[in-house]
A and B are shown apart, each in its own frame.
Chain A
Amino acid sequence: MKVSYKWLKQYLDLNMPAKDLGEKIERTAVEVDSVDVAQTGLKKLVIGHILSMKDHPESDHLHICEVDVGEDQPLQIVCGAPNVAADQKVIVALPGSRIGGNVKIKRSKMRGVESEGMICALDEIGFSKDVVPKEWADGIYVFDDSVPVGEPVYHYLGMDDPIIDLDVTPNRGDMLSILGTVHELAAIYDQHADIKTPVANEDSQIDVNQEISATADSSLAKTYKLRVIKGVKVAPSPSWLQITLWNAGVRPINNVVDVTNYILLKYGQPLHSFDQDKIDGNIQVRLAQQGEKITTLDEEDHELSTNDIVIADNDHPIAIAGVMGGFNTQIDDQTTSVVLESAIFDSIRIRKTAQRHVLHSEASQRFERGINPDTVEAAIDEAANMIQTLAGGKIATGIVTAADYHPELPTIFMTAERTNHVLGTKLTLAEIKKIFDRLGFTSEDHEDGLNVTIPARRWDIHIDADLFEEVARIYGYDKLPATLPTGRQTIGVLTQPQKVQRASRQILEGLGLTQAISYSLTTESKAKMFLMRQSEVTKLLSPMTQDHAVLRMNLLSGLLDDVAYNHAHKVNDVALYESGRVFYKDNIDQVRPEEVEHIAGVITGNFDNPAWNNHINPVDFYQMKGIVNQFLINLGINGDIEYTATDQYSDMHPGRTANISIHGHYVGFVGQVHPKVTKQFKIKETYAFELNLQELIDLPKNDDQYQPISKYPSIKRDISIVVDRQITNDQILAVMKKRGGAYLSDIQLFDVYDGKNVPDGKKSMAYSLTYVNPRDTLKDEVVTTAFEKIKKRLTDDLKAEIR
């Protein structure tokens, strides 16, 4: 709501700079978007009088004007506006002036003719085209004759008036009006606002009930009132009214419509004016019927919904109630009889209608936020008087009332004790009472507190908590003490799952992966990739884009998007992980998905940045497996970590992927992303893992971390064997562990070779075995016996050749 400082001053004694007023409003009532004075930045714009005008010899549309700007000599100004004429009073930008858009105006030649400045249109000096009256939309602005020549234009265009733009919160619909703002400021500055109630200047010769009748469903319109004014002459409004409107961001139309808009701004009460002669019969407020249509004032056609409230005459809808009037019954230059409507429509229906037809008007905005039932009649009365003053005519006696609503004013009991208990203040009841006086709330002592009666204009206040807010903000949030909660102690500590989650991140970062956060909403095809279990997709009902339409069921596809983004920006070495949720649904009928914590990582390019002194280190399966394995070891889950070759994931390389299980529980997979997938994402060879973090959190942990280091020396034996290529490391280890004897404490693979000197279809594997007895010195013969046993079993079970 754009509020004019000058308008406020008509009611209150305000002398502070507009900026200060804005800040006070912001700190006490509602947010202030801006405080602006339209003339800011403009320079040397004066009122000029066109003394004479002749055609430009070299142009068919330019004119050469002699313009009196209050100086000794008139200026010669070339002007191309279609509406320029001799004897007009116009806006002149003098040489050296500055107009809208920070443009400087200099002396210049236009097709060989000297031009000492420029005659301006409103939009050229900073007016929004939306508020320029139609009359002046395609040409220069012409003042009425009363303005003084040579004076700066700003005052005569309202450009010197500071405009405070309020960002009114949904609860403070009362402040979408000048009077509401005046009430608020009266409370803030502890002043009395003199607001008079108008009395309509009715003509006893005309009875409104002879003119029109109306019926209204009170569930659609709580209040519905009409007045009739006969014999008006429609014309442009006087400049003071035009200025008032355009400063509020409303385009002036004519002296009838402008009055309704002025009253809307002043009271927050939307009015509508119909041309009585265009209405066929009586007015009804009803729901639209199936198939009904209307053309609105903006000449748009609307198919009406049976949930839209309409104003209809005998034949058809003539307005979408509370949103926009109909084109066919609008006030035009020929209108002589005006029907004025002042009403309260159902806020929810208005909101939905405005949304349905994408018609958010000043009126609909106010009906949605609420209307003061106390001023419905004052608004229509004042409007009728103003129309009479500006357009002539006679006001019919009486008001047609199809529905009326005068709610009982709520009385709320509150105490100082409770106020202080909530706010942490030490206010006395008298201080609180004083605040209510300022707000214009009547309060009476009752028991140990106050019964506070809330005026109709503050429909946002229902309970004592609402009153605490009124007290707090008028008292001032700055004066509120600052303390910390006291009372019963609590212990702040992360839960076990939270600790594991935090540790997970730290471990992976230590292992060289950077945390990514990608989008949970993705495409259906990406959502379905890398599935770790059977699941249906969860779709949004109305996504903004197909890129973010389905809930992810894996983290990897998001990480691949990240890799793709990096690749597209020439960053080829990427090591990322993400910890987040995936969303599973067991069947289509399940509406709400299960949310499961996952953790996933990707590496591509070189793992360590290539340096001047070390060779590049391209990532491979074993790099990723090493990271995952160390991660799982650090999480300290009880039981062996097992890797089993798998080709079950269609998005992973069938020969380079392993399922991971711990103590027999499947927890995820590690491997190379399938080449067809990397091609689809336009990325290079990429290795990845995805783990069910929830499972890792839930699995029992091994608290028994520490084993004393044996004081007795260990004995190492190396063994090199040649086996079939299909024999896996795990198979060899299994044999060695099973047959290794009591003292075999560690087995390290130190070489794998299948080149020269190894027969085709075979490979050579070399292991270092460590034997130790924690309680005694090991004898060489004992180790030899154990070692020989392993050799034999490897030969027998795996057909290994010992080298």
Chain B
Amino acid sequence: MSLRDQLTEIKEKGLTDIKQVSDLKKLNEIRVHLLGKKGPITAALRGIKDLKPEERPEVGSYANKIRDAIAQAVTQHRDQLEQAQLDAQLAEEKIDVTLPGKPVSQGQPHVIQQIIDEFVDLFLGMGYEVLQGPEVEEDKYNFERMNLPKNHPARDMQDTFYISKEILMRSQTSPMQARALEKHDFSKGPLKMISPGIVYRRDTDDPTHSHQFHQVEGLVIDEHITMADLKGTLITMAQKIFGNKFDIRLRPSYFPFTEPSVEVDVTCFNCMGKGCDVCKHTGWIEVLGAGMVHPNVLNMAGVDSKVYGGFAFGVGPDRFAMLKYGVDDIRDFYLDDVRFLNQFNKRGN
């Protein structure tokens, strides 16, 4: 057998062996054996000295080709084996991706807080400042300065918790109107404020009454503020908070601290104005009270009602939340049942 045939045989056998190997360690052993100094190629090439000198280069070059072919086959096969091994591992690692993710603790703002924040952000955007007043108020600010002198029959509309003859739990956020008017320097600009907070009424707690609830008071006073501005502001509020399809309507009402006074209805959330049980088939739901600030309120706060005037409104976030989410018991807001609170966790809109 010629040297060339020997080499060919080594190659054939080598390639066959490589293909049959199924693990990386053996493959490496074959590679070391075939290509190493003690391997068959090296051994076969020892016979090269028996060849004619002119034949030697040709066989030498043939031997190198065989080496390359084997090395390439090893590499190729190694890649295949590695891929197979990885595939097997990945197959082994397969999990049930439908099992639940690990719970992460995430607290939620209270639903009433969410609504208050929504009001606050909207009115900040319209240039209002946020003012917060005391929850324990003077009768003077809660009533007298709001044009409700002692013995005024409208005081009966709000049964109030008193601490002394002159000190009470505020029954409305309106006293912030009086406090803000008293302090504001109109030479520096108009007064535009909202005042969110807790208020208290001497009510028995039941599904629609709570002795503690929230209000957001709004007040705008300048030289040229009209009732049309009030209407526009309330429409903006309804549409930004509920959506552009919502409309409002004003109805005459009575508050001692505004004149004219209006009750404000917004398109029924439930039927979008078609009429349903929620809105008693009117298509409208009463959401807030508003009006043009009564001249007495301005004058008592030392603001000249002949020069300055404007509007005020008061919204109940509890009622808003009840309407928006269909909560039918106001007490649910103050029990802090985590199953209740944690539902209000959708904040993408």
Contact = CB atoms under 8 A, between A and B. Distances in A.
Interface of A: 23, 26-31, 169-172, 347-348, 351, 368-369, 421-425, 463, 465-466, 468-469, 472-473, 477-478, 480-495, 498, 502, 505, 508-521, 538-544, 548, 551, 559, 562, 565-566, 569, 571, 573-577, 580-581, 583, 591-593, 595, 607-609, 611-614
Given A521-B211, A581-B135, A482 B232 contact: yes
B229 to A, nearest CB: 5
A255 B260 CA distance: 43
A526 B111 CA distance: 26
B107 A595 contact: no
Interface stretch (B56-64, B76-84, B330-338): B330-338
A538 B252 contact: no
A520 B212 contact: yes
Given A466-B259, A608-B103, A423 B226 contact: yes
Given A540-B162, A574-B338, A591-B163, A485 B190 contact: yes
A23 B130 CA distance: 37
A489 B189 CA distance: 7
B261 interface: yes
A662 B126 CA distance: 38
Interface in B111-149: 112-113, 117, 120, 123-130, 132, 134-136, 138
10 contacts: A23-B282, A170-B153, A483-B231, A485-B229, A494-B124, A514-B110, A541-B162, A583-B135, A591-B163, A591-B164
Contacts of B169: 521, 540
A170 B112 CA distance: 31
Q: Determine the main DSSP class of B at the interface with A.
A: mixed
A498 B123 CA distance: 15
Interface of B: 99-100, 102-110, 112-113, 117, 120, 123-130, 132, 134-136, 138, 151, 153-154, 156-157, 161-164, 166-167, 169, 189-190, 192, 198, 200, 202-204, 211-212, 220, 222-229, 231-233, 235-236, 249-254, 259-263, 282, 292, 294-295, 309-310, 333-339, 341-342
Nearest to A513: B107
Contacts of B104: 608
Contacts of A613: 99, 102
A477 B112 CA distance: 31
A565 B338 CA distance: 10
Nearest to A574: B338
Given A480-B231, A483-B228, A485-B190, A490 B167 contact: no
A463 B295 contact: yes
B245 to A, nearest CB: 16
A571 B334 contact: no
Given A541-B164, A608-B105, 8 more contacts: A480-B227, A490-B127, A490-B128, A511-B105, A544-B202, A574-B338, A591-B166, A607-B105
A505 B163 contact: no
Given A480-B228, A482-B235, A544-B203, A492 B123 contact: yes
A319 to B, nearest CB: 22
Nearest to A614: B102
Nearest to A540: B161
A660 B211 CA distance: 34
B107 A478 contact: no
Contacts of A520: 135, 198, 200, 212
A493 B126 CA distance: 10
A423 B212 contact: no
Contacts of B233: 484-485
Nearest to A172: B254
A649 to B, nearest CB: 23
A424 B226 contact: yes
B108 A565 contact: no
Across chains A and B, which 6 residue pairs bring their CB atoms closest together, nearest first?
A424-B228, A512-B105, A424-B226, A469-B260, A169-B254, A509-B107
B135 to A, nearest CB: 6
A425 B117 CA distance: 33
B342 A514 contact: yes
A171, A562, A569 — most chain B CB neighbours (10 Å) = A171
Given A487-B223, A490-B189, A517 B129 contact: no
B241 to A, nearest CB: 16
B338 A487 contact: no
Nearest to B113: A515
Nearest to B126: A492
A562 B110 CA distance: 13
A559 to B, nearest CB: 8
A223 to B, nearest CB: 20
Contact of B163 (A498, A538, A612): A538
